[in-house]
Structure 1
Amino acid sequence: MATNISRPRTKSHTVEESIARRLLDSSAQLSYDPLTEVDWETPLDENFHGASPEWSTLYGTRYWDELTDAQRKALTRQEAASVASTGIWFEMILQQMVLRDIYAKDPTDDTFQWALTEIADECRHSIMFARGAKKLGAPAYRPHRLAVELGRLFKTVAFGEAAYAAILVAEEVLDVMQRDWMRDERVVPFVRTINNIHVVEESRHMKFARDETRKHLAHAGRIRRRAHALLIAVAAYVIVTSMVNRKVYANAGLDEERAVREARANEHHKSMMRSSCSGLMAFLSSVGLLTKPALFFYERANLI
């Protein structure tokens, strides 16, 4: 007589399935199609900013004070396009890490199906960001070569909590600034719509990333935890320092060298970045990922 030998469902497995099921239900109830939700047809209105001015890398500097209103708006449009391009780059890394994590796992599990749902979301987001950057009149901003190669290495070697915590870092940083942009009537309407879509759908991704980080850390020893804490911090540094390409200044008609110099010394922007990451840093601390070596890179990236 045939015997049905099934894998017993542990309490933790049941909790994971429950979380994934709630995320799947949320996705079914509230998701967007950027191709129809975003107004792609109306020509760009250059009377609007591309992002909230307070988030500009030059806001609060002497150079910002010298710019005309039109120059400030042109700059924020280029900066928003650069942030979108960096988002595409990291979302491609994210998708590969998630696919590798679920490879050969049980496709009937809700966690497996949620992971595929997240990847589908990220594909739509990348297309949305690409079309948005093009409509803002920006070129294809790419991270510098070293960042690209480090990203290639990271997506190959990162696993478990290193992969999911790095995903969380990128998503948390974008989330805070985009919440400001989507509510700001000074920002061009189609960009506000893009930000709203991304904020709503990424909130589910961040929930999943936090839960996966905790789950993987439960099985991590001291050496692995410390090594991954440093790896995550380096990834965060590369991501954050790649968000605004230096070419945005020249493309907005500014003196690139002076703009880069003043942006690097801009205490206002550093303060904005630190405040946006307070919740993220609290989470990383709570799970033991804020080691001294890691703190060095977070401080260099002005995240803490």
Structure 2
Amino acid sequence: MATTSISPVNLSLSRLEAMAESGYYNPYTIFDWPDSLPEDKPWMSEDLVTLAGTQAWGELTRQQQLALTRHEAVHFFSLNVHGIRELLSEVVLRIHTRVYEQASEFLHHFIGEENEHMWFFSTFCLRYGHKIYPPQPVLGSNATEDLGESAQELAIFARILIFEEIVDHFNAHMATDQALPEIARELNRVHHQDESRHVAFGRQIFTQLLEQVKENRPQDVPVLARYLDNYLDYSVRSLYNPAVYRDAGLPDPLGLRRRLLADPGRAQAHDQILNRTRKFLDRNGLTPTEAHA
């Protein structure tokens, strides 16, 4: 990775490093993995499934609703596995480089924690769902290929940040949902605990790189705004997987996905999922309104 035209980032990470060290846990011993999970209770919060708030949810039998929560839980954790693998591949390339030299100590914690997250999410998927759902097609990168170096770098860390903030929305909710099996709550709780540091780090990186973009190539800002707005939409749409609906025994999985994405009942859920990230982008002059201008 060539980053010769990007100035070194100047971050305040001592507090995050201390929190990572003091909060360290052994993921291979901390969890109590039951042999199986009950099928008469949801594995994912019912108000977070992709049919929540729609007429389609009410038309399901209770058995179908519970089956959907099981497969959506496995799909959500599968999305985490794939997202973590992507972000790790990017972060490993940057540790101990000139631009990120000051962040390298924290990046060691980050890489270790994310690798452990990928392990326990994949363990849940394979142990209880007997599969990891394949990754969905990625959003094309051609929209950023004409950007300057700082803007391209920002796009990478922005994707990581968006991924982390979206999954943390789900983690924070499910960590306290007493209807879920204990192992599901615990995985979400531990991930939420770690992600709070990762999001704080990601926002620092984002802000620093955006300052460089605004100073050196301000014409890249509206292009970034459009790209990130598209990425928010792509991220939400990735939650809707026809394979999940098929595995849950729901008819016409592809048609169901299309109807759900067009259902006004899902708009409020999308706003809740993206609210924190959109506010952050807005404060930094990268709002969806500007993106469509």
TM bracket (short chain): 0.7 to 0.9
Q: CA deviation at 1:75?
A: 0.3
CA 20–266 in structure 1, closer or farther in 2 if over 3 Å, else same:
same
Indicate whether 1:43 and 2:36 are aligned.
yes
Contact 1:85 1:133 in 2 (8 A): yes
Equivalent residue for 1:75? Answer: 68
Q: Which of 221, 225, 244 does residue 225 from structure 1 map onto?
A: 221
Mapped to 1, the partners of 2:130 and 2:264 lie a distance apart of 27
CA 116–224 in structure 1, closer or farther in 2 if over 3 Å, else same:
farther
Contact 1:58 1:262 in 2 (8 A): no
- Please report the RMSD computed on the Cα atoms of aligned residues, expressed in angstroms: 2.7
Q: CA deviation at 1:130?
A: 0.8
Contact 2:226 2:291 in 1 (8 A): yes
Given residue 123 of structure 2, which amino acid in structure 1 is its aligned partner? R
Deviations 1:112-131 (A, max 9, x none): 11012111111111111111
CA 83–293 in structure 1, closer or farther in 2 if over 3 Å, else same:
farther
SS at match of 1:118: helix
CA 110–257 in structure 1, closer or farther in 2 if over 3 Å, else same:
closer
Q: CA deviation at 1:37?
A: 2.1
CA 116–152 in structure 1, closer or farther in 2 if over 3 Å, else same:
farther
**Deviant stretches of 4+, over 4 Å:** 151-155
Equivalent residue for 1:204? Answer: 197
Q: CA deviation at 1:99?
A: 2.5
Q: CA deviation at 1:163?
A: 1.8
Mapped to 1, the partners of 2:121 and 2:143 lie a distance apart of 24
Q: CA deviation at 1:263?
A: 2.1
Mapped to 1, the partners of 2:267 and 2:128 lie a distance apart of 25
CA 254–284 in structure 1, closer or farther in 2 if over 3 Å, else same:
same
Taking structure 1 as the reference length, what is the TM-score of the superposition? Answer: 0.81
In structure 1, stretches of 5+ residues that fail to align are 1-11, 297-304
In structure 2, stretches of 5+ residues that fail to align are 1-8
Q: CA deviation at 1:293?
A: 6.2
SS at match of 2:13: helix
Q: Size of the alignment, in residue pairs?
A: 277
Contact 1:233 1:294 in 2 (8 A): yes
Contact 1:58 1:266 in 2 (8 A): no
Mapped to 1, the partners of 2:288 and 2:275 lie a distance apart of 16
Contact 1:83 1:243 in 2 (8 A): yes
Contact 2:36 2:128 in 1 (8 A): no
Equivalent residue for 2:5? Answer: none
Indicate whether 1:281 and 2:275 are aligned.
no
Q: CA deviation at 1:23?
A: 0.8
